[in-house]
Amino acid sequence: MPNTTLELLLARNRNYAVRLSKNDSEYFSRHTAGQSPRCLWIGCADSRVPVDIMLQSSPGELFVLRNVANQVLAHDDGMMSGIEYALNSLQVETVIICGHTQCGGVDFAGVMAITPGHNFQETPLHRQIKPLSQMLLKHIQRYPALRQLPQDHLSRLFVEANVRQQIKQLQQTALFQAVSQKRQVEIYGCVYDLKTGIVDVLTDDENEVPG
């Protein structure tokens, strides 16, 4: 049975391969020797955050890891194996952890934080997001006025708090600490704004600002 979604994607792929080869006959063969990206990008899986398009990056430039709400959890081998490879084998020098506005994963964690008594069903998504919701709950308990903020403002604050939390969690891993003792690796936190297409870098000193 033909799958129209797959057919459409394959047709676009053939156009892509033909167009780039026509302009530069070595385009694809150049990449077969190996990869040496300078940057590890950790982002959300959201389909509206097209990493290579919005950064205008070429193949080989970015090593990209994505999951729901860009979570860096020490027990998540899927994420940690990618980080290990990027830092130890590829010797990546820059790590960017990028959240985005209107993140469904962060919003879900926010709902869990605001309604802690609710009995959420235990699912993989729930387990993945639970540490974030616990962090957001502490944030709300520390700054109760957050509950009065408009939803979109609170959502943006949570997105930024999440990015900062993931940076901390990465820095605390034995893997990152071992690498840091040997060489410098820069970590930056960013937020991509779906409304403008702009990626902004978070500054260091906003960690405890309640908004």
Residues within the interface to Zn ion (CB under 5 A): 44, 46, 103, 105
Q: What's the closest the beta carbon of residue 11 comes to Zn ion, in angstroms?
A: 28
Residue whose CB is less far from Zn ion, 76 or 84 = 76
Q: Concatenated DSSP letters for 103-153?
A: -HHHHHHHHHHH-TTS-----HHHHHHHHHHHHHHHHHHH-GGGGGS-HHH
Query: How far apart, in whole angstroms, are the C-alpha atoms of residue 103 and residue 93?
Result: 27
- Terminal C-alpha separation, the chain: 53
Query: How far apart, in whole angstroms, are the C-alpha atoms of residue 139 and residue 160?
Result: 12
Q: What's the closest the beta carbon of residue 44 comes to Zn ion, in angstroms?
A: 3
Residue whose CB is less far from Zn ion, 108 or 176 = 108
Say whether 208 sits in a helix, a strand or coil. Answer: coil
Q: What's the closest the beta carbon of residue 68 comes to Zn ion, in angstroms?
A: 7
Residue whose CB is less far from Zn ion, 49 or 95 = 49
Say whether 84 sits in a helix, a strand or coil. Answer: helix
Q: What's the closest the beta carbon of residue 56 comes to Zn ion, in angstroms?
A: 21
Cβ count near 82 (within 10 Å)? 18
Residue whose CB is less far from Zn ion, 47 or 184 = 47
Q: What's the closest the beta carbon of residue 53 comes to Zn ion, in angstroms?
A: 16
Residue whose CB is less far from Zn ion, 105 or 110 = 105
